[in-house]
Amino acid sequence: MSELFDAVDALLASRATLPPPAERKRLRAAHGLTIDEVAGALKVRRATVSGWEAGKTEPRPPERDAYARLLDKLAELYPVTPAPAAETAPALDAPVPATFTAVPAPAQGQPLPTEPASDGGEVSAPLEPQVPASDLARPPASATKSTSTSRRPGAKKAAPAGTPVGEGDPRFENGPLAVVDADADGQVVAYCVGGLVLDVPAKSLASLVEWTLAEAKLGQPKLSGPGRAADPLLVLTQAALERYGLPTELSAQERDAGRIPEAHKV
């Protein structure tokens, strides 16, 4: 008798109802299961489960019964949430009440009518505008205020926090690069993006590098998740090169190598 029951169970399992492929994937992901975990439990290959979720293939007994049982249990834990009913949009062709009562400012050289004629030819009461024409023609007070935030060239101070040059990253608020120059008195400054000028306290090339990496707040944030932030870029003028003991001209071999000679004192 048990053999007959097993045969009947096998027939039922071969016709077990399965949800659509997209729902199979949703139920697995909702429980935090991976394809490898499902494949290991059902003793099938990973590609087989992927084919079931993509709708390319359908499971067969005896895996079909076990897969249907798994999906039924997951459906009880994670039922489909019905979508909220859409709100009724207001009619676009509804009549618009006439609520505008202000009188526009008169054109240049045209007087404002104060005694319009009625339908019977009689002169009605003077028209009193609810908003004075002078107020309508007057520009808003905020438009007369100056919004200029430009800095004078040569201002030897760093930009305030929140300057948009560094893309909102406080580590690089002074921009990605600077041009370093020195005057006749030996004072060194760095010209940054947006007209910003920084004092450079470094007296040697080593201290210049240290200042650039630790205090100058120069650089560029990374462009993507796996990327890295860009190093700051310094461009030294001829006067700055002389100030820090660097050669102002390179030979053809040095230019090709992209570096100064190994025996240079710096």
Q: Give the model's confidence band at 262: pLDDT under 50 very low, under 70 low, under 90 confident, else very high.
A: confident
Q: Is the pLDDT of residue 260 over 50?
A: yes
What value does the mean pLDDT of the chain take? Answer: 76
Q: Is the pLDDT of residue 192 over 50?
A: yes
Instruction: Supply the pLDDT for residue 237.
Output: 95
β-strands 197-199, 177-182 pairing? unpaired
Could you state, in order of their start, the residue ranges of all structural domains in the chain? 2-77, 164-257
Instruction: Supply the pLDDT for residue 73.
Output: 93
Instruction: Supply the pLDDT for residue 145.
Output: 46
3-state secondary structure of 198: strand
Q: pLDDT (tens digit, 9 = 90+) per residue, 11-45?
A: 666 677 899 999 999 999 999 999 999 999 999 99
Q: Is the pLDDT of residue 87 over 80?
A: no
Angle 56-19-82 from CA coordinates, rounded to 5°: 130
The stretch 84-97 carries a mean pLDDT of 60
Alpha helices in 117-179 (DSSP H): 133-137
pTM confidence score? 0.37
Alpha helices in 59-121 (DSSP H): 63-77
- Is residue 234 a contact partner of residue 178, using CB atoms and an 8 Å limit? yes
Domain 2-77 fold is 434 Repressor (Amino-terminal Domain) (1.10.260)
Distance CA 19, CA 259 (A): 67
Q: Give the model's confidence band at 132: pLDDT under 50 very low, under 70 low, under 90 confident, else very high.
A: low
